Amino acid sequence: MLMDVQLSVLPDGLRVISSAIPRVESVTMGIWIGVGSRYETDAMAGVSHFLEHLLFKGTKRRSAKQISMAIEGRGGYLNAFTQEESTCYYARVARDQMTLALDVLTDMYRSPRMAEEDIVKERGVIVEEIMMYRDQPQQVVQELLTDALWKGHSLGRPIIGSPESLAAMDRRRIDAFRCSAYVPANTVVAFAGKVEHGGCVRLVEQFFGGLQGRRLPPPPRVTARTRQAPLVLQGKDIEQTHLAMGVRIFGRHDKRRFALRILNTVLGENMSSRLFQVVREKHGLAYSVHSSFQLFEETGALVVSAGLDRKRTLKAVELILREIRRMKEKPVSPAEMKRARDYVVGQLRLGLESTTNQMLWVGDNMISYGKFLPPEDAIRNIQAVTAKDVQEVAESIFHEASTSIAMVAPETSDAMSRHLARLAAGL
């Protein structure tokens, strides 16, 4: 899939990237900032996400209602998200609303009102969001696993923060964080849709002119000395046992990431995967079982998640670990390799048919890699992955020392902990 992508770097360091799709009548644009939860101190945990909320509460020129009406009132869509290493504010609009949409996004970025009453109110909203997650065992178990994988590191904290850290934040501290991170050298403006690159650059120059600031220093790195907990169990009055098993792995720049993509597809990404077919279809031990992975600058994790029959939890864990060991011990068959390659390539091609996904692709490329990575290059790398490559990646990442297991269960015991430790030792 060829993308018509152009990149410009303005004198202040702000990057403008566009992907032209002449056949459509819409544009998706996003303002990306290279900051997220891993850049935060313990005392300011959750500030990136808090700030994302506050930017929608109004600016010096617009109320919260006027922000939403400016986009939604013209048939558009406005949203944002915060991750560990980036924050993005984006809008999808008809082509003739492009200037207005960028004006709104830039207004939020440059001149948030951050009134004291909004901070108090939104703090309460986010605390309720935290409480909602605490009532969801599938969310709780993921947070337990994240903490276990990167013990004592900012990557191990929830992106949303905690009630205690949020309570300690006032307007001065939140705005100081914004002023340090929301600067041109740390920002990418990405466009995809019916656009012309020169016009995009001129709009960005018009709305972002006069801003200054240096790019943020890199956050603390994960090293071999970063602690990892092998096992975390929590009892909760629920009907299922919720499992999250994670392996700490390499970062996003590692060439093995293409083989990892195939490995994850074979292991547990979809209904054709080994985990789904064995744990759910053959043995009926779970409704939901799947694997996924996430790569950061210098580290990452492959995670297996499942909601399990409370009476046969250990049997299910044994089956999951058996399939993981099989990835190490025996090459994937040619037929399974072809299905996995076709799935990954098909998902990539289907995803990039939308303006929003193309904007996310080019924006994330610039924030994560500092350059545009053509999807056809990714497809070539995926198609070049061999069964030997997949097996070698499995052998390199699946070890007891790099594995953490988190579980939220109706009942926990020392005997269960010992049994899980024995099963993990088999890796």
Catalytic amino acids?
52
> Cα–Cα distance between 273 and 276 in angstroms, integer?
5
Based on its alpha-carbon atoms, the radius of gyration of the chain, rounded to whole angstroms, reads 23
DSSP assignments along 270-289, one per residue: STTSHHIIIIIIIT--EEEE
Six-digit token string for 31: 């303002």
Quick check: helix, strand or coil at residue 304? strand
Say how far apart CA 143 and CA 156 lie, in whole Å. Answer: 8
Q: What angle do CA 257, 36, 136 make, to 5 degrees?
A: 85
Question: For residue 361, how many other CB atoms are within 10 A of its CB?
Answer: 23
Amino acid of residue 20? A
Show the CA angle centred on residue 209, arms to residues 204 and 210, nearest 5°.
155
Q: Which residues pair with 409 in a beta bridge?
A: 235
For residue 192, give both structure tokens.
Answer: 């995809």
Distance CA 330, CA 18 (A): 44
Residue with tokens 């905690």: 162
Helices (H) and strands (E) in the chain, counts: 16, 11
The C-alpha torsion from 106 through 112 and 113 to 116, rounded to 10°, is 160
Pull the structure tokens for residue 76: 């558009």
92 contacts 79 by C-beta, under 8 angstroms: no
Between CA 240 and CA 248, with CA 246 as vertex, the angle to 5 degrees is 170
